[in-house]
Amino acid sequence: MKKLILCSLLFLCLIACQDKTTNEAAQKPAIPVTKSHTEEAVKQKDDEAAAPQEDKGIPPVYLDETKYTGDELEIVQLMNSRMRYMWEEDEKGYMSLFDPQSPVSGMPVSGLSGFKVRKVISMSDITIREQKKLYEALVMVTELRENEEEASSSMVFWKKKADGDAAKWIFADID
């Protein structure tokens, strides 16, 4: 019993007399924090915030543009740009794809689960009709969203005759 008490007292004495500098050294960082390290950390955080947000999930699968030419190619490129802007959450770029008279007023709300398009599963033929002041194209698509849901949409595109040779296809609406 005396040995147990003696060992306990010795143990308590060692704990009470331990080197305080060792405990403090363990709490301090190995590399001293200097102004330059702090500035680098702030700059890195600013760069990350300025860079486009990238989704950590599965990246989108774009439509194969090599299968199309002429007007159809321009329309497919618009569809791919729409998908890219959605993944980058770039509303300004997204809205640049739409005619100012379009009823589309903004990008789908990112808080809604599955608003980003991962892949176009099926696509109808691109139907182009000539109207009085413009050309109009219609494409029916079924898209796979990031939450694995399928969504069917009809996409309407316009190419205004008044713009002449500079005319480009633009989204008129997506239903």
CATH code at 118? 3.10.450
Looking at residue 10, its pLDDT comes to 57
Between 120 and 50, residue with greater pLDDT: 120
3-state secondary structure of 148: coil
Task: Tokens for 102, please give them.
Answer: 């379009």
8 is a domain residue: no
Q: Shortest CA distance to 109 belongs to which of 80, 89, 93, 88? A: 89
At 106, the pLDDT band (50, 70, 90 cuts) reads confident
Looking at residue 147, its pLDDT comes to 84
> How far is Cα 63 from Cα 11, in angstroms, rounded to an integer?
72
pTM: 0.65
| Mean pLDDT (the chain, rounded) | 79
The share of the chain scoring above pLDDT 90, in percent, equals: 51
Between 163 and 46, residue with greater pLDDT: 163
79 is a domain residue: yes
60 is a domain residue: no
- pLDDT at residue 169 above 60? yes
Looking at residue 66, its pLDDT comes to 96
Range of the domain at 71: 65-100+109-174
At 54, the pLDDT band (50, 70, 90 cuts) reads very low
| Phi, psi (degrees; rounded to nearest 5) at 37 | -65, -40
82 is a domain residue: yes
Give how many domains the chain has, as a whole number. Answer: 1
Phi-psi region of 90 (alpha: psi -120 to 50; beta: other; left: phi over 0): beta
Average pLDDT over residues 44-57: 48
163 is a domain residue: yes
- Token look-up 């990008």 returns 107
> How far is Cα 108 from Cα 89, in angstroms, rounded to an integer?
10
Looking at residue 48, its pLDDT comes to 47
Beta bridge pairs of residue 117? 145
> How far is Cα 46 from Cα 49, in angstroms, rounded to an integer?
5
The share of the chain scoring above pLDDT 70, in percent, equals: 64
25 is a domain residue: no
Average pLDDT over residues 114-133: 91
Lowest-pLDDT range of 24-33, 61-70, 93-102, 140-149: 24-33
71 is a domain residue: yes
27 is a domain residue: no
Looking at residue 124, its pLDDT comes to 95
Rg (CA), the chain: 30
